[in-house]
Amino acid sequence: MKQILDFLIDLAPLIQAIFAGLLFWLIVKQTGISKAQKEISAQNTELQKKMDESNKLLGFWNEYATLSDSRRALYHNIRSVILNTYLGEPMSIDSLVEESGFPPGFEPSEVEDFLGFVAESDRKGLWNGLPLWDFSKFVYSYQDSSSVYERQRADGQPWQGTVGDYPKNIDKARSKLAYFWQKWTAVLDISRHFQPDQNELVILSWLELALVLKTKHTTGSAKTGLLTLAKAKWESARVSQEPPRTS
């Protein structure tokens, strides 16, 4: 018995070392499993994000497609106003946008009181002579289809007529399109997935500002997401048109 005990005592360090090694192996193995689990979890999270974004993009495209009639109505009625009722010189929609641009001096993300900003800009005449500002104010001055306007005929004689439904139709189209852009700019990074039409965004921006001035609504009326996207699109287009610099 003493010999067996002595033998076991002699083996104790070896047994202790074996147990220590086994414990170390179990710890390493568990850590590895934990790390793998974390990596799988991270991959699943990333995959879920991509699936969520894909679903959002699908929703974006589906809703964008449903607004084709509103886009046609916007441009058709703008052309009708230009040809039939607008007091300024007739010009194309492209010319309206190019000669006006995005509202100068307007930084949507920095303006808290939109009504105050627009009213002050109008009072100071900061946008006088910009055809889209004059046009947008005209639209919101004649929302009643029976409103009478005056224009000068080619022979210099005054002429009166009614505005019809053109301004009202423009506002209806603006409402749907502006709501769409405001909604989706809060959900998606639009510029990463889609290049919106510059004319549409710029026109909607001017109409939104004229609407704020007309209704006297404050911040709640302002669609900051739409306006920020429009400004970025306009400035991006200007940069791409700049001639290359020479050394």
What are the residues whose beta carbons fall under 8 Å from the beta carbon of 51, sequence distance 6 or more?
none
Angle, CA 233 vertex, CA 229 and CA 238 arms, to 5°: 150
What are the residues whose beta carbons fall under 8 Å from the beta carbon of 158, sequence distance 6 or more?
150, 151, 152
pLDDT at position 244: 43
155 three-class SS = coil
pTM of the full structure? 0.75
pLDDT at position 83: 75
- Cβ atoms of 213 and 115 within 8 Å: the answer is yes
- Quote the distance between the C-alpha of residue 87 and its chain's center: 32
Rounded CA-CA distance 207/213 in Å is: 10
- Quote the distance between the C-alpha of residue 44 and its chain's center: 29
117-141: per-residue pLDDT in tens? 999 999 999 999 899 998 999 899 8
Write out residues in the chain with pLDDT < 50, as ranges: 2, 5, 8, 243-247
pLDDT at position 81: 83
pLDDT at position 195: 86
pLDDT at position 48: 66
pLDDT at position 91: 77
pLDDT at position 247: 37
Estimate the share of the chain in helix, then strand, then coil, as percent rounded to the nearest 5: 70, 5, 25
